């Protein structure tokens, strides 16, 4: 995997390779005590990925009709600063101040999670307002406010703003740039080497180098979609369109074409070995493969992701269990986007596995929904009840067939 500047990738890489997570791209945060905070998903140090893994867990649970516990939601909202921003993780007993390093990625994914579970909408809107306030002049966003724009940060912020109802194409800076033009400036032109792919950032001389993670993220971003975007009903044949005046949709399709061509050669993406690793051969990249699957499905190419899903079913479940909530959630999102059963994915119930990594959910519906069946609400209303109209309809349908809900509650205690 090209190491993504997200806390999820940093932490998972450290777990799998036995090395310390890089700190150059994450906000310095206080190390947690031996007793992890109540309400938090996962058992590893949350310094670099606490908000990320919590939010990603919520997104995966939502598409599987799981309602996270109030304790878990309260923990996430407690990480938010009064400004609306989130850090990767902080000691919530201390107020945010001038030394608190804000994180656009953590803020964006937390906003998406709160919107999708249809809870604490005011807090989600506050986060969206902060994201708008730190937009770079080129139209994009960097990992931290004021840092150079990158494809991953810009894409996840677009997804968050779109889910809160912000017209992203109208977020124009003084020089006329929008978030979409910022992303398009990182696209490699069709006809060139790696045409259709996206760079994470330009090189020192302005050169663009293909980055698989940035490409998968940019496909979603240019379509104005969030991480839990599901499957597009508009099935298309992958193609790479040449031209200097392409629409965001066309540029997104170019990225999808590059991903489809790459996965046609082998069903998984690869990551370069980490510095100091004994094995210097490229290794399978489960996380980026999962993200590519979601990007292909969202852009109308779910059929091009089938071989990758089959590969993930055979090879990715061990990675997900070891990687924790974020990795498990990524597999659930990939399964859902392509119509696979997340409750029987390679012989593993990923939903049960994810639920066991945090406080017991407030409610869990069975069986697993599919992309063509009843879907959860988009979460765009402001009802803070936790169950939107779409969910209530789904519940009624399930109750009508005698399936019902399995409710369980657990008091506050440390994640086992």
Sign of CA dihedral 232, 130, 358, 315: positive
Mean pLDDT of the chain: 83
β-strands 283-285, 363-365 pairing: unpaired
Q: What is the pLDDT of residue 137?
A: 97
Q: What is the mean pLDDT of residues 278-301?
A: 92
Q: Is the pLDDT of residue 369 over 70?
A: no
Are the C-beta atoms of 286 and 319 separated by less than 8 Å? yes
pLDDT digits (tens, 9 = 90+) for 378-406: 333 333 333 333 433 343 433 443 333 22
The distance of Cα 144 from the centroid of its chain, to the nearest Å, equals: 17
Q: Is the pLDDT of residue 236 over 90?
A: no
Which of 102-116, 276-290, 400-414 tops mean pLDDT?
Answer: 102-116
DSSP track, 182-224: HHHTTBPPTTSTTTT-B-SS--TTS-----HHHHHHHHHHHTT
Q: What is the pLDDT of residue 374?
A: 39
Number of helices followed by number of strands (H, E) in the chain: 15, 5
Look at residue 364 and give its three-state secondary structure: strand
**358, HSE (Cβ side, Cα atoms, 13 Å):** 34
Q: Which region among 87-96, 159-168, 400-409 has the lowest average model confidence (pLDDT)?
A: 400-409
How far apart CA 100 and CA 111 sit, in angstroms, is 19
Q: What is the pLDDT of residue 266?
A: 96
Q: What is the mean pLDDT of residues 80-104?
A: 96
For residue 302, the 8-state DSSP code is G
Contacts of 181 (CB under 8 A, 6+ apart): 138, 139
**182, HSE (Cβ side, Cα atoms, 13 Å):** 32
How far apart CA 262 and CA 284 sit, in angstroms, is 13
pLDDT digits (tens, 9 = 90+) for 168-223: 999 999 999 999 999 999 999 999 999 999 999 999 999 999 999 999 999 999 99
Are the C-beta atoms of 63 and 336 separated by less than 8 Å? yes
pLDDT digits (tens, 9 = 90+) for 117-159: 999 999 999 999 999 999 999 999 999 999 999 999 999 999 9
Q: What is the pLDDT of residue 405?
A: 29
For residue 285, the 8-state DSSP code is E
Cα 267 to Cα 76, 230, 272, 333, distances in angstroms: 35, 20, 17, 17
User: Closest Cα partner for 258 from 235, 239, 244, 232?
Assistant: 239
How far apart CA 105 and CA 85 sit, in angstroms, is 10
How far apart CA 203 and CA 179 sit, in angstroms, is 20
How far apart CA 404 and CA 28 sit, in angstroms, is 45
Q: Is the pLDDT of residue 351 over 70?
A: yes
Q: Is the pLDDT of residue 350 over 90?
A: yes
Q: Quick one: pLDDT band at residue 233, thresholds 50, 70, 90?
A: confident
Q: Quick one: pLDDT band at residue 98, thresholds 50, 70, 90?
A: very high
Q: What is the pLDDT of residue 10?
A: 45
Q: Is the pLDDT of residue 368 over 70?
A: no
Q: Which region among 36-40, 71-75, 109-113 has the lowest average model confidence (pLDDT)?
A: 36-40
Are the C-beta atoms of 362 and 386 separated by less than 8 Å? yes
SS (H, E, C) 65-102: CEECCHHHHHHHHHCECCCCCECCCCCCCCCCCCCCCC
Reading the block at residue 193, the tokens are 């080497």
Which of 21-25, 99-103, 139-143 tops mean pLDDT?
Answer: 139-143
* Residue whose structure tokens are 């777990």: 15
Cross-strand pairs, 198: 187
Higher pLDDT, 175 or 236: 175
pLDDT digits (tens, 9 = 90+) for 352-362: 999 999 999 99
* Residue whose structure tokens are 């086992």: 416
Are the C-beta atoms of 244 and 191 separated by less than 8 Å? no
Q: Is the pLDDT of residue 45 over 50?
A: yes
Q: Quick one: pLDDT band at residue 232, thresholds 50, 70, 90?
A: confident
Are the C-beta atoms of 257 and 222 separated by less than 8 Å? no
Q: What is the pLDDT of residue 173?
A: 96
Higher pLDDT, 272 or 407: 272
For residue 303, the 8-state DSSP code is G
User: Closest Cα partner for 180 from 147, 142, 216, 223?
Assistant: 223
User: Closest Cα partner for 64 from 272, 369, 345, 285?
Assistant: 369
The radius of gyration of the chain's CA atoms, rounded to the nearest angstrom, is: 20
Q: What is the pLDDT of residue 279?
A: 66
How far apart CA 313 and CA 347 sit, in angstroms, is 8
Strands (E), 324-402: 363-365
* Residue whose structure tokens are 């406080």: 359
């Amino acid at each position: 995997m090209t190491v993504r500047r997200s806390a999820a990738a940093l932490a998972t890489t450290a777990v799998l390779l036995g090395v310390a997570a890089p700190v150059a791209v994450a906000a310095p945060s206080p190390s947690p005590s031996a007793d992890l905070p109540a309400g938090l998903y996962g058992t590893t140090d949350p310094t670099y990925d606490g908000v990320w893994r919590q939010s990603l867990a919520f997104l995966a649970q939502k598409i599987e009709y799981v309602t996270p516990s109030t304790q878990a939601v309260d923990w996430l909202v407690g990480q938010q600063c009064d400004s609306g921003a989130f850090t990767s993780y902080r000691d919530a007993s201390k107020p945010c101040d001038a030394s608190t390093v804000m994180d656009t990625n953590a803020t964006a994914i937390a906003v998406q999670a709160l919107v999708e579970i249809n809870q604490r909408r005011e807090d989600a809107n506050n986060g969206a307002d902060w994201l708008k306030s730190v937009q770079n002049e080129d139209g994009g966003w960097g990992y931290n406010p004021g840092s150079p724009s990158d494809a991953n940060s810009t894409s996840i912020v677009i997804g968050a703003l779109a889910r809160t109802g912000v017209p992203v194409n109208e977020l124009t800076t003084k020089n006329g740039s929008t978030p979409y033009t910022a992303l398009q400036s990182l696209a490699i032109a069709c006809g060139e080497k790696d045409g259709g792919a996206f760079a994470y950032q330009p090189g020192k001389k302005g050169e663009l180098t293909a980055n698989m993670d940035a490409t998968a993220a940019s496909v979603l971003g240019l379509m104005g979609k969030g991480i839990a975007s599901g499957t597009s009903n508009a099935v298309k044949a992958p193609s790479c369109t040449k031209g200097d005046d392409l629409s965001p949709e066309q540029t997104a399709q170019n990225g999808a074409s590059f991903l489809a061509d790459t996965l046609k050669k082998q069903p998984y993406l690869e990551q370069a070995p980490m510095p100091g690793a004994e094995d210097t051969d490229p290794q399978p990249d489960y996380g980026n493969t999962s993200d590519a699957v979601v990007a292909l499905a969202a852009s109308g190419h779910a059929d091009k992701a089938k071989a990758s899903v089959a590969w993930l079913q055979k090879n990715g479940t061990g990675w997900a269990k070891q990687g924790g909530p974020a990795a498990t959630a990524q597999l659930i999102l990939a399964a859902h986007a392509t119509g696979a059963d997340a409750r029987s994915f390679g012989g593993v119930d990923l939903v049960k596995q994810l639920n066991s990594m945090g406080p017991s959910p407030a409610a869990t519906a069975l069986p697993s929904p599919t992309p063509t069946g009843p879907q959860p609400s988009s979460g765009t209303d402001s009802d803070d009840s936790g169950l939107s109209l779409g969910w209530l309809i789904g519940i009624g349908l399930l109750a009508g067939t005698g399936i019902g809900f399995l409710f369980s509650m657990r008091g506050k205690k440390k994640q086992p």
